[in-house]
Amino acid sequence: MTRDEGRWFPIWPGVVRRTLVASERMMQIEVLLEQGGQVAEHQHPQEQLSYIVRGRLRFTVGGETREVGPGEAVLIPGGVLHSVDTLEESLVIDTFSPPREDLLAQDRAAG
């Protein structure tokens, strides 16, 4: 699966994503977050690596809070509760292993 320039999906208020690439064992998505947007606390079995391209975010992972900016990355182990507060409009590249079937299903349903 490759990137489709027009296929953005809302995932939280003020947060949209699109799939860049997916394989059998991993996937990568691009996420745009508006200033003030929030990713509510959640968890998933996939391991997640978030690389901040631009902007400033406050991640809370497993009860530990950390502010990050461009060029920094956050590792979120599978099954760990995490949330994000957007301090500035941000662009993030998220990599999941294994792929998030829920996101891939959303991509397929959109055709």
Tell me how long the chain is.
111
pLDDT for residue 91 is more than 70: yes
All domains in the chain, ordered by first residue: 9-94 (2.60.120.10)
Residue 107: phi and psi, rounded to 5, are -60, -45
pLDDT in tens, 32-56: 999 999 999 999 999 999 999 999 9
* pTM of the entire predicted model: 0.92
Residue with tokens 């509510």: 40
C-alpha dist (Å) from residue 8 to 17, 69, 78, 94, 97:
5, 23, 25, 14, 21
Burial of 102: CB neighbours in 10 Å, binned 0-12, 13-18, 19+: exposed
